[in-house]
Structure 1
């Protein structure tokens, strides 16, 4: 019905999905659908049967519903969303529980999320293990509670709590839920024993009978301004999202209409969300993230344990990578030839941990333990025993090759050697060693201790053991890993180059940095392209660009605007000037930059014009998709979903739109192909349509059905 639990296992014929037993005059229904007791059809049928048996049996005075295994009911099967409901639906079960003439107690351990929680909320009473968690995470999939969740939360805990819990989607500890009145009792002993005791208290009258759907004490005299203020506060965060707005509407309704009417409104809103673009996009990403770190070509290699790590380079990236290892419990040695750089780096790391502690996001004890795991060194021998060593020095091939020559001489034979390059040839770096099979790319995103994305780059000589170990450590670091082939820019930066180039051409043709950035943020990006460049540092990109220009074909169009800005000493936020002027982090459009751009247009003989926002968005998104199709066809990415995962988690593409490749599917691949063809006729070689895009448009196949297998 309404929770992101991922599938139950088909039940063996000899084992029912819901067990039923009598404990004296109390019936117990045990949900047994591993691994997470998802609300499959078999579970729903079993629950309806159990309710029917309990009501029909004169010996039974109350019913307890409990989960078998590690959890209560984690939620509905995500694979069922968008499909026709099969009876008995969760709605039918909820109706049966609410109409039951005998009291029903939900006994919660592990987790009760979404539809699983709504099952428990429909019971008259709830008891939970002290470490249990409950929640309504549907909003993270573009959904909302659909089984009365907005109505129960509002009546039991009040609208303020209901708004926070159901629009945030985060788990709630059982003890907190007990304080709010959503959980009635916290078990002090074995859960089933305490649930049976609670049932006896209900039967004996120690706990009085009640109809929670008629409770009104938490919804009396609610100021309507509460809801308008909440909408306004979250308007920017919810841009392009339907579900959180519908949730607020339903919670507001709960404060002014009957439970039955509020439940009806919630069902309608749930169905609208279930069939929305946002829901399809977020469910696409849900599955794409789970597939991204898996090799399509099954490998027999076993991941080696990474007990110690090394990081070379005490810059911003090196600091973040070192913190990532330390946070995951892995001791790490941070190496740099400069003692001064190491001191500066450790000062930054210490300050980062202090900030996390002050915000309440990290306990002081954990911060202290993480800091103790980070050691510094200036001598290469300090890395001799490391299981994994990550190089994070300047993005210069010669410098990186020198680092790997040194590593080759001191690292132990089975160590995995990783480069954090964002664009360079991993095989050329591996060639500086006598063990290229132990070399892999690990492209962290900055700040590395915060960003979840990790591109794991497989060079042509990267061995299965090294690759599998790299993927294993990514899990340990709690990163979303995406496997990329060894091509310039890999997945993310190659696409960034394509639409960044198009943005530069749009500047020459008449747009401004502020207009292009506004179009992107209106679409849902948290930050515009030029503001992002300023934040990253224009000198860093300039250094890369100067290397690229040595081999760039002379006939290809090239915009000198970015180079001119750097030649003026404008390197972005760190110098207070880049594409924008800065007051702190506030970006202010600069007339001097607009004059510079107009001058470049005149030099190139380009007549500037007013460019509609729609054209800007169309050219940028189609550039992403066409380049993504090339990446997929070449096998640089294994799946179209991998590209979407990279762009949502690393480059700010709005998750509610699913990523560039999913956006193309929703827009229509044939339509996108026709747009690319038109742009090719107008702008030339850079817009040569991807053969894969042409193929999907012609034959109607999806991306992965038409793509070449990854090497």
Structure 2
């Protein structure tokens, strides 16, 4: 077994335990770690009388990365006994560490997430280095799991039930060192490695016989235990608040975290650790954790790692970006480029209009300064990298152009014709269009091989996805440069082929169409919204349609209809036309849409929606409402694969979650099909049922089960096709 922990005892009697797995770039809580920690604790206990204290640190850039997610993603019910034994060993040794009888300090020299923070929590004192990019937290809930190496048990005893749940466990928040200090997860934050180790030794000298708070005779849990009258009176509100936070969706991980915390707070520490293990194993061996690990660990790592970037293509990095259009999207693009260290020139029809981009960046930077996320000097440096203009001369030297003007093909082609002679001869030419085919836009551009789609999502500074769209003549160098630029500005770039609406806009349109079609059938609007939330969507489809704007939805649909590319009229189209043409309700920007708005804030659903139904109405079961939305998107994603719009299932899964809000618990739109009860065959059978009840749009591909069974495997299953032994 690989030795993953170095043991060094100094002349002062202080042992430094250096976490350093030689077989991995980051330390993880795998079986090699467990064996190493057992050996280390055996030695510490044998040498205890000669020890002054212990410092736990890391040789890696990160302190400790957490559990072995690749192994976790493969766990089955048959693995439960072995998992319980492994977790028991890990917890036993961390308990041995904190009851060693000598001061133990965690010198956290980088990110400590999940298992890494759990190791630190088993130390008596925690000192965090304020390293760039360092984050601390217990993010397991975002992977469908719970902290299983004592994280729930110790944070509840350290912070109290309410604070542990709301600040750390249920949010999965990744905190900067200063925020972790404020939350009580660490005791000190220092600026240098030398200061960190010096302070660790000083603390050991000043605290020769420490004990964890919960091991002291006078310990009282902050806020009381569930047996105390005050907390007992509040407990019924916890499940209600969780349901409200989840918007009615039933997700096993948050529910298991709540159960673990409350149950564990009522028993001794050892029993609480056992409760934690049992709940974690239930999650680990369930499907939802596999879905989420597959998406947020396996798929996301593949996408960000460049799986879709042309291999072996040497592409010059972008250094200076021209952004055409200073509206909401253009201003956001300019900000993220400048924040990433690029020089940016924003051009619009007037100096005043172009200046809006700089104003937008200034507001975002001012907020970041107030929150302590950036210093004033660094914020000013970002702002200084943004130049605004109404002319062309300032664009000289730009080696990338990102166009973000109104969705009109003629206007887009006109602005490219103006700027192409001014920018560098090999500049990347990118359009931020969300629906217009890239091949058509490139037809009037002098260098179509350098032309590509870069579809950003609003708000650009927050949304992580970038959809890169390859036209018929787009060259590999342009694709590589666009991909590299996307990574440079912190985006997750999926790559798709050309087609109206590409992948994300097209598929989210099916979601909205299906929901609006339910209104036309007479389904109450509140039921439509609630069904989506209970299915796990972050926003109801009618609220989403208002945000997008019904005007834009209508315009895109009419462009599609005019193009004559297999357009099919739906009841939802008539209802949207009625909303706009008869009732003048364009959406949130107009102050009236499916919802009423007051001063920009969403109010109630419009009372007139019930009168818009074209059918008498029928009772649609809630499971059907939920699955009609999920299946509408999944089936169209399958069509995107068939038509070659989607290149890979991985891009489909990541794009659907990060770009269009497909429920995260599914692991993505294609994984939803794979993991459906009965697998792809079960999905096809259910789709046929929906088609019989609600229309041919739910008819599944005839060979769906066979194609997915023989096609690309689910990466969360270790390369094995679904159903393989």
> TM class, shorter-chain normalised?
0.7 to 0.9
Relative to structure 1, the CA distance from residue 607 to residue 324 in structure 2 (aligned partners, 3 Å threshold; closer, same or farther) is: same
Q: Is contact 2:128–2:196 with CA below 8 Å preserved after alignment?
A: no
Q: Secondary structure of 1:266's match?
A: helix
Q: What's 1:675 paired with?
A: 686
Give the Cα separation in 2 of the matches to 1:146 and 1:692: 41
- In the TM superposition, residue 66 of structure 1 has moved relative to its aligned partner by 3.0
Once the two structures are superposed, the pairs formed by residues 255-294 of structure 1 within 5 Å of their partners are: 255-286=265-296, 287-293=298-304, 294=306
Q: Structure 2 residue aligned with 1:427, among 433, 436, 439? A: 439
Residue of structure 2 in register with 1:299 after alignment: 311
Contact 1:692 1:706 in 2 (8 A): no
Q: Which residue matches 2:155?
A: 153
Q: CA deviation at 1:229?
A: 5.0
SS across alignment from 2:420:
helix
Residue 587 to residue 692, structure 1, CA distance change in 2 (3 Å): farther
- 1:624-703 → structure 2 map (5 Å cutoff): 624-667=633-676, 668-680=679-691, 686-690=697-701, 693-696=704-707, 702=713
* SS state at 2:170 partner: helix
1:485 to 2:497 alignment: yes
Query: Does the CA contact (< 8 Å) of 2:448 and 2:473 recur in 1?
Result: yes
The more displaced of 247-256 and 135-144 is: 247-256
Matched, 1:473 2:485: yes
Q: Which residue of 2 aligns with 1:29?
A: 17
- Per the TM alignment, residue 590 of structure 1 is displaced from its structure 2 partner at its CA by 3.1
What does residue 581 of structure 1 align with?
596
Give the structure 2 partner of residue 44 of structure 1: 34
CA contact (8 A) 2:496 2:503 kept: yes
Mapped to 2, the partners of 1:149 and 1:349 lie a distance apart of: 38
* Correspondence for 2:333: 321
Whether contact under 8 Å (1:696, 1:706) holds in the other structure is no
> Equivalent residue of 1:207, what SS?
coil
Give me the whole-angstrom Cα distance separating, in 1, the residues matched to 2:203 and 2:348: 65
Q: 1:188-203, aligned counterparts within 5 Å?
A: 190=194, 194=198, 197=201, 201=205
* Unmatched tracts of structure 1, length 5 or more: 1-9
Pairing 1:617–2:626 present: yes
Aligned to 2:114: 114
**Does 552-561 or 271-280 show the bigger shift?**
552-561
1:285 and 1:95 map into 2 onto residues whose CA distance is 33
- The aligned residue for residue 566 of structure 1 is 580
SS of the residue aligned with 2:429? strand
- Cα shift at 1:454: 0.9
1:137 corresponds to: 139
- Structure 1 residue aligned with 2:610, among 594, 599, 606? 594
Contact map agreement 2:146 2:253 (CA 8 A) in 1 = yes
**1:422-571 counterparts in 2 under 5 A?**
422-552=434-564, 556-559=568-571, 560-568=574-582, 569-571=584-586
2:59 aligned with 1:68, yes or no? yes
- The Cα of 1:527 is off from its aligned counterpart by 2.0
**Separation in structure 1 between the aligned mates of residue 436 and residue 117 of structure 2, nearest angstrom:** 49
Measure how far apart 1:420 and its partner are. Answer: 0.7
Kindly state the Cα deviation for residue 209 of structure 1 after the two structures are TM-superposed.
Answer: 4.2
The question of 1:237 aligning with 2:264 is answered no
Q: Which moved more, 1:287-296 or 1:211-220?
A: 211-220
Residue 404 of structure 2 is aligned with which of 374, 378, 392? 392
Instruction: Give distance in 1, aligned partners of 2:532 and 2:445.
Output: 43
SS of corresponding position for 2:244: coil
- Unaligned ranges ≥5, structure 2: 225-229
Q: Is 2:404–2:433's contact at 8 Å kept on the other side of the alignment?
A: yes
Aligned-partner SS, 1:190: helix
Give the alignment's Cα RMSD to 1 decimal. Answer: 3.4
Query: Once the 2 structures are TM-superposed, how far is the Cα of residue 21 of structure 1 from its aligned partner?
Result: 3.6
Number of the residue aligned with 1:6: none
Rounded Cα–Cα distance in structure 2 between residues aligned with 1:415 and 1:553: 32
Match of 1:5 in 2: none
Q: 1:586 deviation in Å?
A: 2.2
Moved more, 267-276 or 142-151: 267-276
- 1:4 is matched with none
Contact 1:128–1:191 at 8 Å: present in 2 too?
Answer: no
SS of structure 1 residue aligned to 2:326: coil
For residue 404 of structure 1, give the secondary structure of its aligned residue in structure 2: helix
Residue 425 of structure 2: aligned partner:
413
- What is the rounded CA distance, in whole Å, between the counterparts of 1:211 and 1:517 in structure 2? 48
Q: What is the TM-score normalised by the length of structure 1?
A: 0.86
What is the alpha-carbon distance in structure 2 between the residues aligned to residue 686 and residue 209 of structure 1? 67
1:626-652: CA deviations, max 9, x gaps? 111121233322332322222222222
Aligned mates of 2:185, 2:514 — CA distance in 1: 53
Structure 2 CA distance, aligned partners of 1:30 and 1:347?
A: 48
Cα distance change on mapping 1:179 and 1:573 into 2, 3 Å: closer
- 2:93 aligns with 93
Partner of residue 54, structure 1 = 44
Inter-partner Cα distance in structure 1 for 2:19 and 2:424: 51
Aligned equivalents of 2:387, 2:467: Cα separation in 1: 26
The structural deviation recorded for 1:444 is 0.7
Asked whether 1:170 is paired with 2:150, we answer no
Q: TM-score, normalised by structure 2?
A: 0.85
1:552/1:497 CA distance change after superposition, 3 Å = farther
**Deviation at residue 416 of structure 1 after TM alignment:** 0.5
Could you say if the C-alpha distance between residues 383 and 18 of structure 1 is closer, same or farther in structure 2, counting changes exceeding 3 Å? Answer: same
Tell me how far apart the structure 1 counterparts of residues 623 and 61 of structure 2 sit (CA, whole Å): 51
* Conservation of the 8 A alpha-carbon contact between 2:102 and 2:210: no
Residue 504 of structure 1, CA deviation: 4.0
Q: Taking structure 1 as reference, are residues 437 and 611 closer, same or farther at Cα in structure 2, changes over 3 Å only? A: same
SS in 2 for 1:484: strand
Q: Which is further off, 55-64 or 30-39?
A: 55-64
Give the whole-Å Cα distance in 2 for the aligned partners of 1:184 and 1:322: 39
SS in 2 for 1:594: helix
Cα distance in 2, alignment partners of residues 185 and 697 from structure 1: 52
1:168 partner SS? coil
Structure 1 distance, partners of 2:204, 2:362, is: 55
| Deviation, structure 1 residue 441 | 0.6
- Following superposition, the deviation at residue 255 of structure 1 comes to 4.4
* Deviation of the 1:119 alpha carbon: 2.5
Partner of 2:227: none
Is the 2:143–2:293 contact (alpha carbons within 8 Å) kept by the matching residues of 1?
A: yes
**Contact 2:99–2:211 (Cα < 8 Å) also in 1:** no
